[in-house]
């Protein structure tokens, strides 16, 4: 067994006292023993020492738990993965070096050349490119469906070789809200898992497993780090999907892995099978591993995630209400704003709040949007969101510029759209900054 800490063994054994999510943000993942470091130690070591070759052999055969090489697994990264696993209420988790790597692994772990995946069309531009261009080149076909599609339309997208369904809890930057139960029901009726990118909501505002999602991914670069310090990603498996029940669809998990001495992941590792396979095969071969130091920084962010999310959401709601009332604003999109198209879905899936990102259209289109952005002072122009510092972006001329007009529209990103990421500064300062830029 590779992972020591990022597997939530309590789920299989005696239940310990359930902790609230705020406590898990601060103390989850790591419980120091007598005399040990209070803060998570940084194991800045590529390798680990063993007394005998036999000890090491057992590790390589995945027979015993332990660390042998930091490309696959490092204790610091593992402790932080465990914390995120606990926040999501999952069974096992792993960190990756980026959100892109997390989404790639989450899909490629079960869908390979000749397979098909259904994805919501309103997803992060980088993920869209990964799916529609790069993974297509690798032989994996994607069908993109509107997150608002009917159950019948969703049904019609399935093929015999469909292996997964994918969507974002709150889409970046379209701010559509995924009807997780609708997508989970469709996926499960076809014997495949639902993968949800929960980056924008974070487990503070939504726990997709509670609504039937099977696997959750994160770009930890966003709210989890929250300080614009470390790029990273995470995959959490709920452990709920029964791979062996659909063994014909998932040979990678249910048939012997010849590159690992004929191991059958789903039989050997149960609820941890998905993460064990992604570590043993994909991390071994692709090596998109985070540094222990990046994991340590991520953990500092996680310690205040619950406090920051509350402020991000309060600031964004105040900003959205202000924009809605401003004559130079054509429209505002924010799922927690009364009257928003996704207000009801947001209330159902994220009753505490959604995220700090607000999109809106400046009257006058593309050129007016660009002129407006130049006047901002507190909001900085950045290809980033979900930072403690407020920032803004014009997606049509930056992150989404590889898309043609039709694809832009399908992704819900018009040319007049400005995306604001409201930080945790004073709401009053954020609103005055927007007011002076809109008025001038």
* Interface ranges with ligand PLP (CB under 6 A): 98-100, 103, 124, 126-127, 168, 172, 197, 199-200, 219, 221-222, 231, 233
In whole angstroms, the minimum distance from the beta carbon of 412 to ligand PLP comes to 13
Whichever of 79 and 175 has its CB closer to ligand PLP, that residue is 175
Q: Residues 6 or more apart from 71 whose CB is under 8 A from it?
A: 46, 283, 284, 287, 289
For the residues of 195-236, what is the DSSP string, one character each? EEE-TTTHHHH--GGGGT--EEEEETTTTTT-SS----EEEE
CA dist 410 to 109, 122, 157, 416, Å?
A: 27, 7, 16, 15
DSSP 350: -
Cis geometry, peptide bond prior to residue 173 (ω within 30 degrees of 0): yes
In whole angstroms, the minimum distance from the beta carbon of 231 to ligand PLP comes to 5
Whichever of 317 and 386 has its CB closer to ligand PLP, that residue is 386
Distance CA 415, CA 69 (A): 47
In whole angstroms, the minimum distance from the beta carbon of 42 to ligand PLP comes to 21
Distance CA 224, CA 208 (A): 16
- Nearest residue relative to ligand PLP (C-beta): 99
In whole angstroms, the minimum distance from the beta carbon of 338 to ligand PLP comes to 25
Residue given tokens 């204790």 in the structure block: 75
Whichever of 67 and 124 has its CB closer to ligand PLP, that residue is 124
Whichever of 197 and 257 has its CB closer to ligand PLP, that residue is 197
Whichever of 168 and 433 has its CB closer to ligand PLP, that residue is 168
DSSP 128: H
CA-based nearest residue to 168, from 141, 139, 144 = 144
In whole angstroms, the minimum distance from the beta carbon of 386 to ligand PLP comes to 7
Whichever of 106 and 254 has its CB closer to ligand PLP, that residue is 106
In whole angstroms, the minimum distance from the beta carbon of 73 to ligand PLP comes to 20
In whole angstroms, the minimum distance from the beta carbon of 101 to ligand PLP comes to 7
In whole angstroms, the minimum distance from the beta carbon of 388 to ligand PLP comes to 16
Q: Residues 6 or more apart from 33 whose CB is under 8 A from it?
A: none
Q: Strand 116-120: give its sheet, edge to edge.
A: 92-96, 233-237, 215-219, 194-197, 162-168, 116-120, 141-145
Whichever of 41 and 228 has its CB closer to ligand PLP, that residue is 228
CA-based nearest residue to 285, from 66, 39, 105 = 105
The answer to whether 82 and 28 have CB atoms below 8 angstroms apart is: yes
Whichever of 7 and 106 has its CB closer to ligand PLP, that residue is 106
Q: Which helix (H) or strand (E) holds 391?
A: strand 391-393
């Amino acid at each position: 067994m590779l992972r020591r800490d990022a597997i939530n063994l309590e789920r299989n054994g005696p239940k310990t006292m359930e902790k609230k999510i705020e406590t898990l943000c601060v103390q989850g993942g790591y419980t120091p023993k007598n005399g040990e470091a209070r803060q998570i130690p940084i194991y800045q070591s590529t390798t680990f020492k063993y007394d005998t070759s036999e000890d090491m052999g057992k590790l390589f055969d995945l027979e015993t738990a332990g660390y042998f090489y930091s490309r696959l697994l490092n204790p610091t990264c593992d402790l932080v993965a465990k914390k995120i696993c606990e926040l999501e209420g999952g069974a096992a988790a792993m960190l990756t070096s980026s959100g892109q790597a997390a989404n790639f692994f989450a899909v490629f772990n079960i869908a390979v050349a000749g397979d098909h995946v259904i994805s919501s069309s309103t997803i992060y531009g980088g993920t869209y490119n990964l799916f529609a261009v790069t993974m297509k080149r690798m032989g994996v076909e994607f069908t993109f469906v509107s997150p608002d599609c009917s159950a019948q339309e969703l049904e019609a997208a399935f093929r015999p070789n469909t292996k997964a369904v994918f969507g974002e809890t709150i889409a970046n930057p379209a701010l559509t809200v995924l009807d997780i139960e609708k997508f989970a029901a469709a996926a499960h009726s076809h014997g495949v898992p639902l993968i949800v990118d929960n980056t924008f909501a974070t487990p503070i505002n939504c726990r997709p497993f509670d609504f039937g999602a099977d696997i959750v991914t994160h770009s930890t670069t966003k709210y989890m780090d929250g300080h614009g310090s470390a790029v990273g990603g995470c995959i959490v498996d709920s452990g709920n999907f029964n791979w062996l029940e659909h063994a014909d669809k998932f040979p990678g998990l249910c048939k012997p892995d010849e590159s690992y001495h004929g191991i059958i992941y789903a039989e050997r590792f149960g609820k941890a099978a998905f993460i064990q396979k992604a570590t043993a095969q994909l991390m071994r071969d692709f090596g998109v591993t985070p540094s222990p130091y990046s994991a340590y920084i991520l953990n500092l962010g996680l310690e205040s995630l619950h406090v920051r999310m509350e402020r991000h959401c309060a600031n964004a709601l105040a900003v959205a209400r202000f924009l809605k009332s401003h004559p130079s604003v054509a429209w505002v999109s924010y799922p927690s704003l009364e009257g928003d198209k996704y207000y009801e879905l947001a209330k159902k899936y994220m009753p505490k709040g959604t995220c700090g990102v607000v999109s809106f259209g400046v009257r006058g289109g593309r050129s007016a949007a660009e002129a407006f952005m130049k006047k901002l002072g507190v909001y900085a122009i950045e290809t980033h969101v979900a930072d403690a510092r407020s920032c803004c972006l014009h997606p049509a001329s930056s992150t989404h510029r590889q898309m043609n007009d039709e694809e832009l529209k399908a992704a819900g990103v018009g040319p007049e759209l400005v995306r604001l990421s409201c930080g945790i500064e004073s709401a009053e300062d954020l609103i005055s900054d927007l007011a002076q830029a809109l008025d001038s």
